[in-house]
C-alpha cells in the first residue's frame, strides 16, 4: 500500500513537470485545429517537437518508463504506434531494456518482406503499445489489431496525455487498458493555477462554453 501511495505522489509530480515542459516547448497550442480523427479542437498537443530537445525528451521518456514500471505487470515487448509514438517507444524500450517493434501505417506502401509489424514478434508475446496522445483511441486500436494479427497479445496502451475524448472507453471495450501520465483536464488546471493560460483558454480546453 505504501509503495502504491508513494508512486501516486511521484506520478503527480512527474505529470506536473511534464506539463510545464510541454508548455515551455509550445507543445500545447491554443487555437482552432482539426485532429487526425477529424474532430475539431480548440487546442492541440504536438509532441513531435519534443525529440528536438534532447534533455526534455529524456525526462519525458523517463516519466513514461517509470509509469510503465509501476503500473504495468510483466510484458515482453514495446510497440511504437505510427508515427508520433515511435521515437518515444524507441527510447523507452532502451531505458527498460525491452525489445522494440513498431507498426507501419496501413496506407504505407510495403517493401521487402511486406510486413506491417517490423522487428521480431513471436506468437503469444505480450506487448504494450506506446503513443504520444490518446483522443478516440483509433490509432492505438489499429496498432493493436496489427500486433494481434501477427500473433502478439496486447496488454496495454501507454500515452503521455489522455485528451479524455473516448480513448479509455474504446480501448476498454476491446479488452485493452489505457495508461496515461496526465489527463488534459489536470494539465489545463495546472497551467491556469500557475497563471500560464487565461480562464478563457482553460474553459476552452476543458470544454466549457463561454
Beta bridge partner(s), residue 34: 40
CA distance 163 to 43: 10
Residue 34 C-beta-side C-alpha neighbours within 13 Å: 1
Contacts of 125 (CB under 8 A, 6+ apart): 76, 77, 151, 152, 153
Strand partners, 118: 102
pLDDT of amino acid 210: 37
Cβ atoms of residues 154 and 78 within 8 Å:
no
Would you state the pLDDT for residue 116?
Answer: 82
Say which DSSP state 164 is in.
-
Are 61 and 95 within 8 A, CB to CB?
yes
- The pLDDT score that the predictor gives to residue 209 is 47
Are 69 and 96 in contact, with CB atoms under 8 Å apart?
A: yes
Helix (H, G, I), strand (E, B) or coil at 158: strand
Please say whether the dihedral angle defined by the alpha carbons of residues 26, 67, 164 and 210, taken in this order, is positive or negative: negative
Q: Got the DSSP string for 71-125?
A: H----SEEEEPTTTHHHHHHHHHHHHT--EEEE--TTSPP-TT--SEES---TT-
2-206 has which fold?
A: Rossmann fold (3.40.50)
For the chain, the domains span 2-206
Where does residue 189 fall: left (phi above 0), alpha (psi -120 to 50 degrees), or beta otherwise? Answer: alpha
pTM > 0.85: yes or no: yes
For residue 84, give Cα distances in angstroms to 102, 113, 128, 131, 194: 11, 23, 16, 7, 28
Encode the chain (210 residues) as per-residue pLDDT tens digits. 555 569 999 999 999 999 999 999 999 988 888 877 777 888 899 999 999 999 999 999 999 999 999 999 899 999 999 989 999 999 999 999 999 998 887 655 555 555 788 999 999 999 999 999 999 999 999 999 999 999 999 999 999 999 999 999 999 999 999 999 999 999 999 999 999 999 988 988 887 543
CA distances from 175 to 30, 125, 140, 191 (A): 33, 16, 12, 33
Amino acid at each position: 500500500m505504501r509503495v502504491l501511495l508513494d508512486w501516486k505522489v511521484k506520478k503527480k509530480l512527474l505529470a506536473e513537470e511534464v506539463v510545464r515542459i510541454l508548455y515551455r516547448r509550445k507543445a500545447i497550442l491554443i487555437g482552432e485545429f482539426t485532429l487526425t480523427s477529424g474532430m475539431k479542437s480548440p487546442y492541440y498537443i504536438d509532441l513531435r517537437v519534443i525529440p528536438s530537445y534532447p534533455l526534455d525528451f529524456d525526462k519525458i521518456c523517463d516519466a513514461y518508463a517509470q509509469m510503465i514500471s509501476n503500473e504495468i505487470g510483466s510484458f515482453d515487448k514495446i510497440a511504437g504506434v505510427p508515427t508520433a509514438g515511435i521515437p518515444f517507444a524507441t527510447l523507452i524500450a532502451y531505458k527498460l531494456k525491452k525489445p522494440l517493434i513498431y507498426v507501419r501505417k496501413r496506407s504505407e506502401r510495403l517493401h521487402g518482406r511486406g510486413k506491417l509489424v517490423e522487428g521480431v514478434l513471436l506468437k503469444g508475446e505480450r506487448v504494450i503499445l506506446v503513443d504520444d496522445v490518446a483522443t478516440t483511441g483509433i490509432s492505438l486500436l489499429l496498432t493493436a489489431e496489427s500486433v494481434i494479427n501477427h500473433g502478439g497479445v496486447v496488454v496495454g496502451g501507454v500515452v503521455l496525455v489522455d485528451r479524455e475524448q473516448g480513448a479509455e472507453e474504446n480501448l476498454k471495450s476491446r479488452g485493452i487498458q489505457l495508461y496515461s501520465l496526465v489527463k488534459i483536464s489536470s494539465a489545463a488546471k495546472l497551467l491556469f493555477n500557475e497563471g500560464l493560460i487565461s480562464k478563457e483558454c482553460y474553459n476552452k480546453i476543458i470544454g466549457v462554453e463561454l
